[in-house]
């Protein structure tokens, strides 16, 4: 039977049960991928009692099928493309560049909204757990891993409550390990694993970041 989560908070608590070896270690940090990964990651960080922050990444959607990722961009100029999917769907270079430019603009906007003047945490020598709410194509997580790798961490964990079995396995080859709580056979629609999979808004993320900074002594967020 497929595990089913009530919402992203419930999923985060369940995912944390697979990460307990990282608990209470200030060298560990959980990075959330906005938007949907934020409530999941916050619950993971709380359960482990480790610092929490965000890493902004944007999916590059296929023209006319925007929910299908043909790649992703992340902070630091990182771009990942799914060349096989792009060839299969005959997406031309001009369209790819236009979508990339648009999503980089949105990436910059979200950085300003979520982070403001707050600097990105120092990841050198740390164990970094990157969390998203689901792994369908894996493009967003791949971009995040590449962005984090540039900061010279000691260890990178790609973690999600649910994902494609093939994607979770493939991420283990670019992260140091990949952990998915559930890898359902025939995984397709992420919403099938959640009772409540409503869109996470900027306002919700800002409220969660404020709550994290106020309530967690381990958080890297300023109090």
Residue 212 has pLDDT above 80, yes or no: no
pLDDT exceeding 90 applies to what percent of the chain?
61
In this prediction, residue 132 carries a pLDDT of 95
Question: Between the ranges 65-69, 73-77, 100-104, 115-119, where is the mean pLDDT highest?
Answer: 100-104
Residue-wise pLDDT tens digits, 15-61: 999 999 999 999 999 999 988 999 999 999 999 999 999 999 888 99
- pLDDT-derived band at 214 (thresholds 50, 70, 90) equals low
CATH number for the domain running over 8-212: 3.40.50.2020
203: tokens are: 């306002």
Mean pLDDT, rounded, for 63-80: 86
Give the separation between CA 124 and CA 205, rounded to whole angstroms.
Answer: 26
How is 6-69 classified by DSSP, letter by letter?
SSHHHHHHHHHTT-GGGTT-TTEEEEE-TTTHHHHHHHHHHHHT--EEE--EEEEEETTEEEEE
CA distance 16 to 123: 21
Separation of alpha carbons 24 and 126, rounded Å: 13
Between CA 177 and CA 187, with CA 181 as vertex, the angle to 5 degrees is: 105
Distance CA 175, CA 169 (A): 10
């Amino acid at each position: 039977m497929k595990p089913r989560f009530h919402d992203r908070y419930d999923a985060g608590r369940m995912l944390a049960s697979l990460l307990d070896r990282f608990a209470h270690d200030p060298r560990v940090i959980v990075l959330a991928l906005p938007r949907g990964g934020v409530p999941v990651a916050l619950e993971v960080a709380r359960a482990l009692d480790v610092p929490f922050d965000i890493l902004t990444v944007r999916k590059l959607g296929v023209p006319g099928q925007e929910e299908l990722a043909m790649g992703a961009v992340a902070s630091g100029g990182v771009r990942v493309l799914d060349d096989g999917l792009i060839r299969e769907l005959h997406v031309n270079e001009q369209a790819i560049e236009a979508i990339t430019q648009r999503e980089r603009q949105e990436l910059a906007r979200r950085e300003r909204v979520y982070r403001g003047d707050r600097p990105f945490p120092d990841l050198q020598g740390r164990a970094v757990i990157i969390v998203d709410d689901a792994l369908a194509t894996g493009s967003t997580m791949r971009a995040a891993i590449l962005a984090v790798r540039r900061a010279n961490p000691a260890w990178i964990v790609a973690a999600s409550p649910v994902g494609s079995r093939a994607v979770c396995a493939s991420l283990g080859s670019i992260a140091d390990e990949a952990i998915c709580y559930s890898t359902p056979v025939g995984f397709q629609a992420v919403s099938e694993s959640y009772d409540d999979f409503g869109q996470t808004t900027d306002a919700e993320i800002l409220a969660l970041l404020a709550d994290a900074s106020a309530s967690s002594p381990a958080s890297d967020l300023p109090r």
